[in-house]
Chain A
Amino acid sequence: MGSILVIAEIQKGKVREASYELVSFARKIGGATNREVKSLVMGQGISAGAEELSKKGGGEVFAADDAALANYNLDAAFAAVQAAIAASSADVILLSNTPTGWDLAPRIAASLDAGLASDCFNVEVEGSDLVFFRRFFNGKFDSRLRPTALPLVATMQPGATAAFEGAADGKVTALSVSVGATGTKFVETKVAAAKGVDLTKADIIVSGGRSVGSPEKFQEVIKPLADALGGAMGASRPVVDAGWLPHEYQVGSSGQVVSPKLYVACGISGAIQHLVGMKASNFIIAINKDADAPIFEVANVGVVGDLFEVVPKLTEAIKTAKG
C-alpha cells in the first residue's frame, strides 16, 4: 500500500487552513486503509510552516525550500510534487480546490496517467475502496465517484471538513528539487483596487442573478427592493461578467464575502462559489422558481416562484409597511 500525500499550501508564511482540512481527510482514509500520511510544503523560507505541519498531523513533511518556489510557478511546483511523490511512494495525492490546486492537480494526474476527482466535498472508505463525493451541474446534483485505478489524485473543497486539530508527531525531511528551464514565469500578484460600493458594510443586501436578464431589469426590479429596505444591491457572477453591474457588486468566492443581517437572493441558483460569499448572513431569503435550487439549502426562508412577480409585490408591501 502506498501513502497519502497532502500537498499543503503556504500563505503568508503559514500553512493554510484548507491544508489542515486535507490532513483531516488524509488521516480518515489513511487510518481505514493502512496508509501513512505524508505532506509536501513548498516555497521559500518555509521551515516554520513545515515544522508546524509535522507536529499537527502532516506526518513526514517534505520541505521543498527553494528560491524557484518563492512565488507560485507551475513547473517549479510540479517538480517539487514529482520529487515528493517519489520520496513518499504515494498512491493517493490530495490537494485543495484552490487556484494552486486548479493549476497543479490535473498536471499531476495526467503525468501519472491517473484519474482526478476534483472539488470533492467528502471521501469515504468502503471496503478497501475510496469513494469520493462531489457535486455536478453547479450544485444541482451530488455524485459518488469510484476510482478504478491507483494512483489517484483528488482535490477537496475548502471548508468541506474541519481542520485537523489533533497533535500527531511527524518529522520534517528536506527535499531538494531541481527546477530547470520553466515554461511559465510569475510576474506579479495584483489586488483589485477598492471601489465606491462596499457591500461588506451593508446591513441588508438584495442580490439578483443571471435570470434577472438585463441591466434595465436590475434597475426596475432589484434596485427598488434594495431601496425600499434601505439596503444595497448585489449580484451573482454572470451579472458582472455580462457587464450589467460593476465587479464590486459581485458576491462570492471571486467577489465580496458578506454577512449582512438580511440577504435576499433573487433568481440565484446557489452555486458553491456564490454560497461561500453569503452563507454567513444572519438571515437569508431566497426567491427561485426551481424548488430544487441549491440556494434553498442555505436559506432560512424560501419562495418557490417567479422573481418578476414576487419582487415587485414585495417592494410595494415593504413600502406600505414602512408607511
Chain B
Amino acid sequence: MKIMVCIKQVPHADARLDVNGAGTWIQEENIKFEINPYDQNALEAALQLKDKDASSEVVVVSIGPERVTQSLRTALGMGADRAVHVKDAAADGSDSLGTAKILAAVAKAESPDLVFAGFMSDDGNLAATGPMLATLLGIPHTTTAVSFVKNGAVTVERELEGGALEVVELNTPCLVTTQTGMNQVRYASLKGIMAAKKKPIDVKTVADLGLAGQVGAGAAKFKIEKLYTPPKGQGAEILSGSVDEVVGKLVGKIKELGLL
C-alpha cells in the first residue's frame, strides 16, 4: 500500500510573529519553523499503518522553500520512506486551490492508495487544501478524523461540534484530513535520523509538474490584500506594576466579585 502525506511547514507555535513590510504576510526571517501540528498526526497515522504492514510505503510531500528540507528530514527520520519537495518560487503565493493543484499533480504521478492531509494549517487556518486535493483527484474524502481504521474500506470517526462524533466509511483510494489529538506522535529516533540521511528527497518545480502559469500568486482566486493586528476593541484592563502589585490587584478584583 502506498500512502501519501501532505506536510506543510509552519512557524513554530512559540515563534514571535510580526507582519511583514508589505503588510501581506508575516516576516519569516529568523523564526523557527516546524511541521504543522495537524500534519504530525497525519504522518503518525500513516506510520502506524506502515508499522502493521512493513510493505507499505509512506511518501511525504511538501511545497515550500529550502527551509522545508528540514521538516522533510524530520518526517523521514520518523519513518517515512521518501519525500517529494516542490521547491519553486513560482508556487509562492498560491491560494489553497493552487496548493491543491500542485499536490494533485504529485499524487497523480504517485497513485497512492491513501492520502492524508492535516485538517488545517496552523498559519493559514484555511482547512481547505485536503478536500480540494481529493476533489481534483476524484476520490472521496472526510475531514477532522480523530480515529482511523483500515480493514479493506476505511472507517473514520470525525469530530462534530460539542464532543459529538460521526462515523464514516470510505472506499479507497480516499483522502482523510486529521485533527490534532488523533494519535500520540512519535519522535524521530537517533537511528531513524541516521537512516533518514540516506532516504531520497525528490525536488520538483512547478513546470516539472506541468503547472506553469496555473498556480502561484498570479493564479490565486483570493489575494491577501492586508494582514494586520486586529483593532483593539474594549479589551481587558491590563494591570501594571511589579508581579506582587499585579497579584494584589487581582486579589482585589476577585474580592469585588464576592468570590473570596
A residues lining the B interface (CB < 8 Å): 72, 74-75, 98-99, 102-103, 105-107, 109-111, 113-119, 131-132, 134-149, 152, 182-192, 203-204, 210-211, 229, 237-238, 240-243, 247, 253-255, 257, 261-262, 282-286, 290-292, 294, 296-305, 309-310, 313-314, 317-318, 321-322
Stretch in contact with the other chain, from B45-53, B68-76, B244-252: B244-252
Contact with A along B225-251 (1 / 0, CB 8 A): 111111111011111000110111111
CA distance A105 to B127 in the complex (A): 10
The residue of chain A having its C-beta at the shortest distance from the C-beta of B134 within the complex is: A107
Min CB gap B217→A, angstroms: 10
Contact with A along B132-168 (1 / 0, CB 8 A): 1111100111111000000000010111111111111
Nearest B residue to A139 by beta-carbon distance?
Answer: B230
Q: Which residues of B contact A304 (CB under 8 A)?
A: 238
Q: Does B122 contact A (CB under 8 A)?
A: yes
CB pair B168–A184 under 8 Å, yes or no, is yes
Give residues in B with beta carbon < 8 Å to A: 11, 13-14, 16-17, 19, 26, 37, 95-97, 100, 119, 122-136, 139-144, 155, 157-171, 174, 180-181, 184, 220-233, 235-239, 243-244, 246-251, 253-255, 257, 259-260
22 A-B interface contacts by CB (under 8 A): A75-B140, A103-B143, A106-B127, A106-B129, A106-B130, A111-B135, A119-B125, A141-B19, A141-B228, A143-B224, A143-B227, A146-B222, A152-B221, A183-B170, A187-B169, A190-B165, A190-B167, A192-B165, A242-B184, A301-B250, A303-B239, A304-B238
**Beyond A131-B225, A136-B227, A322-B260, is A74–B238 a contact (Cβ under 8 Å)?**
no
The 6 residue pairs across chains A and B that have the minimum distance between CB atoms: A115-B221, A183-B140, A241-B181, A302-B236, A106-B131, A110-B135
Residue of B nearest to A309 (CB): B243
Q: A147 to B171: give the CA distance in the assembly, Å.
A: 35
In the complex, chain B residues whose CB is within 8 Å of the CB of A182: 140
Chain B: interface secondary structure? mixed
Q: How far is the CA of A242 from the CA of B181 in the complex (A)?
A: 7
Q: Is the CB of A116 within 8 A of B126?
A: yes
Q: Contact between B17 and A143 (Cβ–Cβ < 8 Å)?
A: no
Contact at A184–B223, with CB atoms within 8 Å? Answer: no
- Residue of chain A at shortest CB distance from B184: A243
Whether A115 pairs with B17 at a CB distance below 8 angstroms is: no
Complex Cα distance, B101 from A115, in Å, reads: 12
CB–CB B251/A254 < 8 A: no
Q: In the bound complex, what is the Cα–Cα distance between A115 and B96 (angstroms)?
A: 8
**In whole Å, how far is A126's beta carbon from the nearest beta carbon of chain B?**
10
Partner among B13, B225, B247 whose Cβ is within 8 Å of the Cβ of A144:
B225
If A143-B226, A237-B181 touch, does A305 touch B237 (CB 8 Å cutoff)?
no
Chain A residues positioned under 8 Å from B125 (CB to CB): 118-119, 134-138
Q: Give Cα distance in the complex from A126 to B254, angstroms.
A: 46
B180 touches A241 (CB 8 A): yes
Q: Tell whether, in the assembled complex, residue A313 and residue B247 are in contact, meaning their CB atoms are under 8 Å apart.
A: yes
A141: contacting residue among B139, B166, B229, CB under 8 A:
B229
